[in-house]
Copies of this chain bind each other. A is one copy, B any other.
Amino acid sequence: MEPRTTRATLQTVADEVGVSRTTVSNAYSRPDQLNSALRERILEAARRLGYPGPDAAARSLRRGRAGAIGLVFTETLSYAFADPYSVGFLRGVAEVAESSGTGLLLIPMPPGTDEAETAMRDAVVDGFCLYCMPVRHPAKKVIQARGLPVVTTDENDDPSIPHVGIDERASARLAAEHLTRLGHRRVAVMVDHVVEPGRAGRATVEEQRDSECAVLHGRLGGYREVLEEAGVDWANVPVVAAGRNSRPAAAAAAAHLLDVADRPTAVLATGDVLALGVLDACEQRGLVPGRDISVAGFDDVPEAARARLTTVRQPMGEKGRRAARLLLDPRDPGEAVPRVQLPTELVVRATTGPVPR
Seen from chain A, the residues whose Cβ lies within 8 Å of a Cβ on chain B are 7, 28, 50-61, 64, 66-68, 70, 76-78, 80-82, 87-88, 90-92, 94-95, 97-98, 101-108, 110, 115, 117, 119, 121-125, 142, 145-147, 303, 306
Contacts and interface: CB of A to CB of B under 8 A. Distances in A.
B54 A57 contact: no
Kindly report how many copies of this chain are found in the complex they form together: 2
Given A53-B142, A124-B66, A108 B102 contact: yes
Contacts of A82: 91
Given A94-B108, A106-B106, A303-B303, 19 more contacts: A53-B117, A53-B142, A55-B61, A56-B66, A57-B60, A60-B122, A68-B105, A76-B94, A77-B94, A78-B92, A81-B90, A82-B91, A94-B106, A98-B108, A103-B105, A103-B107, A103-B123, A104-B108, A105-B105
A209 to B, nearest CB: 32
A339 B51 CA distance: 27
Nearest to A50: B145
Given A103-B105, A147-B52, A95 B77 contact: yes
A101 B90 contact: no
Nearest to A55: B61
Nearest to A125: B56
Could you say which of A90, A115, A119 has the most chain B C-beta atoms within 10 Å of its C-beta? Answer: A90
A67 B70 CA distance: 13
